[in-house]
């Protein structure tokens, strides 16, 4: 998906976890989310802007997010996304499973080196 060949494709579920984690800090609108992820990852991860919206809708449908009417940083109307209790529970279980996966991944890489 990434247009820049230096950026790898995100694996399934990664975008969602990042959105959830970002919104845990504070409710945001779409553009702010993109910027936030870019900033926090020091430009290492780049969300393809367009793919954010279908993902947001999926998560709204799952009940992990709520949307409300709000204004952007420029003062124009937009929608602000907020994490729900279900979203927090989902995030936590996803983080645990990601961590376990990363640990396994790291061990396999380490073993391959020796």
Partner 1 sequence: MSRFSRFFFRNRRYDDISVSIQEHIAERIDELMEEGMARDEAERTARRDFGNVTLLRERSREVWQWQRLESLLMDLKHVCRRLVRSPGFAITVVLTLAIGIGANTAVFSVLNSVLLRPLPYSEPEQLVAMRLNAPGAPGLTDFRDELRMSPSMYLTFAAHNRSFQSMGVWLPGTASITGIAKPEQVNTAVITDGVLQTLDVPATAGQWLTAADQDPHGAQRVMLGYGYWQRRFGGDPGVVGRTISVDSQSRVIAGVMPRGFKVVGYDFDLLVPVAFDPVKQSLAVFAYHGIGRLRPGVTISQADADVARLLNVWMDSWTNGPGTDSHWYLKWKITPAFLPLKEQVVGSVGNVLWVVMATIGIVMLIACTNVANLLLVRADGRQQELAVRSALGAGRWRVARELLLESVTLGLLGGAVGVGVAYAGLRLLIAIGPENLPRLSEISLDGRSLAFTLMLSVFSGLFFGLIPVLRYAPSRQAVPLIGAMRTASVSRERQRGRNLLVVAQVAMALVLLISAVLMIRTFNVMRNVDPGFSDPPSLQVMRISIPETLVRDPQTVVRIQNSIQDKLAAIPGVTSAGFAVSVPMSGAEPNWDGIYLEGKNYEGEEPPLRLFNYVSPGYFHTAGTRFVAGQDFAWSDIYSLRPVAILSESLARELWGSSSAAIGKRFREFPSMPWHEVVGVVQDVRENGVNQSSPATVYWPSMMANLYGPGPLDARRTAYFALRSSRAGTETFINEMQQAVWSVNSNLPVAAISTMQDIYSESMARTSFTLVMLAVAGTMALALGILGIYGVISYAVSQRTREIGIRMALGANKSELLWMFVRSALVLTGIGTVVGLGAAAGLMRLMRTLLFGISPLDPITFTVVPVALVAAAVLASYLPARRTAAVNPVDALRAE
Nearer to partner 1, 73 or 93 (CB): 73
Q: Which residues, 6 or more positions from 1, have their beta carbon under 8 angstroms from its beta carbon?
A: 9, 10, 48, 51
Q: Which residues, 6 or more positions from 83, have their beta carbon under 8 angstroms from its beta carbon?
A: 20, 23, 24, 27, 64, 65, 91
Which of these segments, 18-26, 60-68, 86-94, 101-109, binds partner 1 (CB under 8 A)?
60-68
CB of 53 to partner 1, least distance (A): 5
Interface ranges with partner 1 (CB under 8 A): 29-31, 34, 48-51, 53-54, 56-58, 60-61, 67, 72-74, 76-79
């Amino acid at each position: 998906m990434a247009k820049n060949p230096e950026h790898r494709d995100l694996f399934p579920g990664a975008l969602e976890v990042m959105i959830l984690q970002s919104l845990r800090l504070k409710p945001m609108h779409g553009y702010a989310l993109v910027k936030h992820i870019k900033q926090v990852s020091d430009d290492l991860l780049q969300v393809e802007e367009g793919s954010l919206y279908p993902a947001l809708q999926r998560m709204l449908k799952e009940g992990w997010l709520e949307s409300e009417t709000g204004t952007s940083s420029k003062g124009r109307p937009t929608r602000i996304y907020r994490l729900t209790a279900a979203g927090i529970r989902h995030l936590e279980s996803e983080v645990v499973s990601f961590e376990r996966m990363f640990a396994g991944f790291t061990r396999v890489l380490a073993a391959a080196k020796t």
